[in-house]
A and B are shown apart, each in its own frame.
Chain A
Amino acid sequence: MSTILIIEQVLNGLQFGVMLFLMAAGLTLIFGVMGLINLAHGSLYMTGAFAAAVTAAATGSFLMGLAAALAAAALAGALVELLVIRRLHDKDHLDQVLATFALILIFSEGTRWLYGSFPLYLDIPAALSGPVTLPGGIQYPLYRLTLIGIGIGVALALWGLIARTRLGIRIRAGENDREMIAALGVDISRLYTLVFALGAALAGLAGALVGAIQSVQVGMGEPVLILAFVVIVIGGIGSIKGAFVGALLVGLTDTLGGIFLPELFKLVMEPARATSLGASLASMAIYVLMAAVLIWRPTGLYGARV
């Protein structure tokens, strides 16, 4: 196994990881600030991907598609917050699970009704297609490299927003004590809508960016949603830093596990069995990672200690 392959796979893992971070950041913000489990976050990811695919097909511009994805997901998020989520605050986690599960049904079938069951395609913009040569002579797709850059950029911007701005102070205060900041005169319902729309926009951005690598179809959000939950649970719920570390861990474990586990098993057993056993263990690897982290630290890596 060559160094080039390893570096390529590490980059793939990073790319997957930063995309997961975009999903997980919104999820963890919404949970941290509003105390809400949002199973419908994957639907917002799907909304972004569809908005991007439809707009890009109509205008021929990837950037317009990206803008449409952000706008559509943020709008859908704000609407969902105003119409449904707002009424769930005084309910417990169980009712939130049921209500947001209902939202998944509505979003998925509504999208199928609008666009049909066939997948849509979103092309990689011409300027970003093709490979680049990295130092050491490694050929790597420019688009994927751009995704890594965007992901890290968004992570930094989000950190700046939360650590340095007035909105960030309110978000952090909301995480700690919502009654208190309401009493201090902050319009808490507007803050909630804003946080929800922000989280939705991040999910929509991820959907649009990933939509150009995979196909855009109904139900694309659910597998990513589960992974995003794994990420925030590993990182510690409510922690942006935890979401970032967790996302990279999950992205790398998933990608590298799929490559290296079969190779590892080939050392001790026949190739055909090693490939199938390695592949099946690799698909379980992130869940094993999550269970191990939780058994070791029951509230995640950066979660509040109880």
Chain B
Amino acid sequence: MTRETAVNALLLAGLVAVPGWALWADEPFTITLATRAVIFALAAVGLNLALGLGGLVSLGHAVFFGIGGYAMGILAHHAQTYTPLMDGWMTIGGTKSMPVIWLVAVLTSALAALVIGVLSLRTSGVYFIMITLAFGQMFFFFAISWSAYGGEDGLSIYVRNGFPGLNTLVPIQFYGLCLAILLAVLWASARLARSPFGLALNAARQAPGRVQAVGLDPTRLRLAAFVLSGAITGLAGALFADLNRFVSPAMFSWQTSGEIMIFVILGGVARLWGPVMGAVVFVALEHLLGGISEYWHVALGLLLLVIVLFSRGGLLGLMAGEARGHD
């Protein structure tokens, strides 16, 4: 077992143990905090697929996070107001069922990722960073002016959506559901990285010319990765909206894109558990430092600075004691 595997196992054990500890220590709020960390981790795992494996530095992943959020918000809003979503040649109502909402969230964010990907992948490097940022801003301003769904104020959902066989209003059950999804996606992305597609994508990042020479199209590989990546982040957005029972244009803001990227870089780019580590540490710091001082952002900033200046490969790289570049 390498040190990285050991750190990962510890992280997993911690995530599984958190609710038990919270109940034992009588600090139920910790479960909500951990749910937040797990959902952010899922969004970051999604981004890491594009960023780590594909080398696509997207500063616009809030688009997918927001689309997932609004998929939940819009469907649940129609369900709770008993108004049809669409009333033309056929009637489609809203829903309070999580599996349906997730499906819609994944499909719509994948579709958005396809369109944005086709247009953005014409550029590369810093231009790619900026064009993805531009798409994020377009969605942000669109959401602000979309008065049918709350505009700037967002949408509140009064009761958390349901999942067959679970009572999602109980924090520990909702946490378990989110953690199960995270683990399933981690497993799938580990499989994906070792699949022929993952290997080709990895190669397309390092040597696009050679990939092309063996008859594969690097742009198509990247597009596929971008779509998958967007879909996963969209699913996280739907869960996040359900956690807060609220969606607002803030989910589309560039700060959200920045934070998702920070999770990945902080934990360790291109490492399977890197995004999870980053999200968990970020949420924990936010909570701990926030309790100490009103001006905790200064401390957080200094800490991030120290990590980026003195470690290579993020926290996981630091702990695993092995540098791994992410060129």
- Contact across chains for A294 and B145 when beta carbons are under 8 A apart: no
- What distance in Å separates the Cβ of A165 from its nearest Cβ neighbour in chain B? 27
In this complex, the interface size class of chain B, counting residues with CB under 8 Å from chain A, is 35 or more
- Contact across chains for A97 and B298 when beta carbons are under 8 A apart: no
Of A153-161, A197-205, A283-291, the stretch lying at the interface with chain B is A283-291
Residue ID in chain B nearest A237 by CB atoms = B126
- Contact across chains for A226 and B133 when beta carbons are under 8 A apart: yes
Contacts of A103 in B (CB 8 A): 301, 305
Q: How far, in angstroms, from A103 to B147 measured CA to CA in the complex?
A: 35
- Contact across chains for B302 and A106 when beta carbons are under 8 A apart: yes
- Contact across chains for B134 and A287 when beta carbons are under 8 A apart: yes
Interface set, chain A 256-306, CB cutoff 8 A to B: 276-277, 279-280, 283-284, 287-288, 290-291, 294-295, 298-300, 303, 306
Is B184 an interface position by the 8 A CB rule? Answer: no
- Contact across chains for A97 and B127 when beta carbons are under 8 A apart: no
- What distance in Å separates the Cβ of B116 from its nearest Cβ neighbour in chain A? 9
Is B212 an interface position by the 8 A CB rule? Answer: no
- Contact across chains for B305 and A229 when beta carbons are under 8 A apart: no
Q: How far, in angstroms, from A206 to B237 measured CA to CA in the complex?
A: 37
Residue among A108, A109, A276 having the largest count of chain B Cβ atoms under 10 Å: A109
Residue ID in chain A nearest B130 by CB atoms = A233
Q: How far, in angstroms, from A105 to B295 measured CA to CA in the complex?
A: 10
Of B21-29, B96-104, B135-143, the stretch lying at the interface with chain A is B135-143
Residue among A226, A277, A280, A291 having the largest count of chain B Cβ atoms under 10 Å: A291
- Contact across chains for B135 and A229 when beta carbons are under 8 A apart: no
- Contact across chains for A94 and B258 when beta carbons are under 8 A apart: no
Chain B interface mostly helix, strand, loop or mixed? helix
Contacts of A290 in B (CB 8 A): 130-131, 134
Q: How far, in angstroms, from A306 to B119 measured CA to CA in the complex?
A: 18
Residue among B59, B124, B130, B261 having the largest count of chain A Cβ atoms under 10 Å: B130
- What distance in Å separates the Cβ of B122 from its nearest Cβ neighbour in chain A? 5
Q: How far, in angstroms, from A112 to B296 measured CA to CA in the complex?
A: 11
Interface set, chain B 264-304, CB cutoff 8 A to A: 265-266, 269, 295-298, 300-304
Is A115 an interface position by the 8 A CB rule? Answer: no
Interface set, chain B 59-108, CB cutoff 8 A to A: 59
- Contact across chains for B144 and A283 when beta carbons are under 8 A apart: yes
Of A4-12, A63-71, A84-92, A184-192, the stretch lying at the interface with chain B is A84-92
- What distance in Å separates the Cβ of B30 from its nearest Cβ neighbour in chain A? 24
Residue ID in chain B nearest A37 by CB atoms = B126
Is B309 an interface position by the 8 A CB rule? Answer: yes
Q: How far, in angstroms, from A230 to B138 measured CA to CA in the complex?
A: 12
Q: How far, in angstroms, from A283 to B254 measured CA to CA in the complex?
A: 15
Residue among B126, B145, B262, B303 having the largest count of chain A Cβ atoms under 10 Å: B126
Contacts of A125 in B (CB 8 A): none
- Contact across chains for B123 and A280 when beta carbons are under 8 A apart: no
- Contact across chains for B127 and A110 when beta carbons are under 8 A apart: no
- Contact across chains for B305 and A94 when beta carbons are under 8 A apart: no
Residue among B124, B297, B300, B304 having the largest count of chain A Cβ atoms under 10 Å: B297
Contacts of A283 in B (CB 8 A): 141, 144-145
Q: How far, in angstroms, from A104 to B305 measured CA to CA in the complex?
A: 11
Q: How far, in angstroms, from A276 to B141 measured CA to CA in the complex?
A: 12
- Contact across chains for B141 and A299 when beta carbons are under 8 A apart: no
- Contact across chains for B305 and A230 when beta carbons are under 8 A apart: no
Knowing A94-B57, A283-B141, A284-B141, the reply to whether A105 touches B298 (Cβ < 8 A) is yes
In this complex, the interface size class of chain A, counting residues with CB under 8 Å from chain B, is 35 or more
Interface set, chain A 92-134, CB cutoff 8 A to B: 92-95, 97-99, 101-106, 108-110, 112-113
Contacts of A140 in B (CB 8 A): none
Contacts of B254 in A (CB 8 A): 226
- Contact across chains for B126 and A95 when beta carbons are under 8 A apart: no
Is B129 an interface position by the 8 A CB rule? Answer: yes
- What distance in Å separates the Cβ of B37 from its nearest Cβ neighbour in chain A? 19
- Contact across chains for B147 and A95 when beta carbons are under 8 A apart: no
CB within 8 A of A97: which of B147, B261, B326?
B261
- Contact across chains for B57 and A294 when beta carbons are under 8 A apart: no
Q: How far, in angstroms, from A98 to B326 measured CA to CA in the complex?
A: 14
Q: How far, in angstroms, from A267 to B225 measured CA to CA in the complex?
A: 43
Knowing A95-B308, A294-B122, the reply to whether A229 touches B301 (Cβ < 8 A) is no
Q: How far, in angstroms, from A300 to B319 measured CA to CA in the complex?
A: 41
Q: How far, in angstroms, from A174 to B296 measured CA to CA in the complex?
A: 38
Q: How far, in angstroms, from A113 to B269 measured CA to CA in the complex?
A: 33
Contacts of B137 in A (CB 8 A): 226, 284, 287
- What distance in Å separates the Cβ of B312 from its nearest Cβ neighbour in chain A? 8
Residue ID in chain A nearest B121 by CB atoms = A298
CB within 8 A of A106: which of B126, B269, B298?
B298
Residue among A94, A99, A230, A288 having the largest count of chain B Cβ atoms under 10 Å: A94
- What distance in Å separates the Cβ of A247 from its nearest Cβ neighbour in chain B? 15
- What distance in Å separates the Cβ of A21 from its nearest Cβ neighbour in chain B? 17
Q: A97-B265, A280-B145 are in contact. List 20 more A-B contacts (CB 8 A).
A: A94-B51, A97-B57, A97-B258, A98-B262, A98-B308, A99-B304, A99-B309, A106-B297, A109-B297, A233-B131, A277-B145, A279-B145, A284-B137, A284-B141, A287-B134, A287-B135, A291-B131, A294-B127, A294-B130, A294-B134
- A-B contacts, 23 of them at CB < 8 A, read A95-B308, A97-B129, A98-B304, A98-B308, A99-B305, A99-B308, A102-B300, A103-B301, A106-B301, A109-B297, A109-B301, A233-B126, A237-B126, A283-B141, A290-B130, A290-B134, A291-B119, A291-B135, A294-B127, A295-B122, A299-B127, A303-B127, A306-B124
